Structure 1
């Protein structure tokens, strides 16, 4: 929390990509503009059905995809939050 307001860039491994962590980032890190979400080692996704918040000031987001999971549900959940993105990089 001490550095939350100055955080501009974050990389999250699959273990931390949960609706709770994303909600906390949205609430505590208002200046977050760059995010990397690494799903590359995922065998399944966490449940995002309760996700109500996502960082909204992102300019750049990189998503490392997994070969074995389908991302449509997650992308639908974040779609309304990422309308200000300038670059979406999918790997």
Structure 2
């Protein structure tokens, strides 16, 4: 994810990661729009990288091929969201707990 865009997703990642602790109607009410916002952003980023690849992970995922198979659109977006959220949330918690 481009550096200038990362900060806007801090709240969304936190809202999504709450689902890992407790599932309540309030948590779901925050997580659903956060997921939709992240998916929409990542879908546009994937489309952009298909048109103009760069030296980044999204471009590598778009180009990845295993025995002729490639990730479909949903798989690409899900993988990108997982990698971003896991890297962000893990690092934040590790630093906070350190």
Q: TM-score, normalised by structure 1?
A: 0.28
Query: Which protein is richer in helix relative to its size?
Result: 2
- Asked which structure has the greater RCO (Cα within 8 Å, sep 6+), the reply is 1
More strand by share: 1
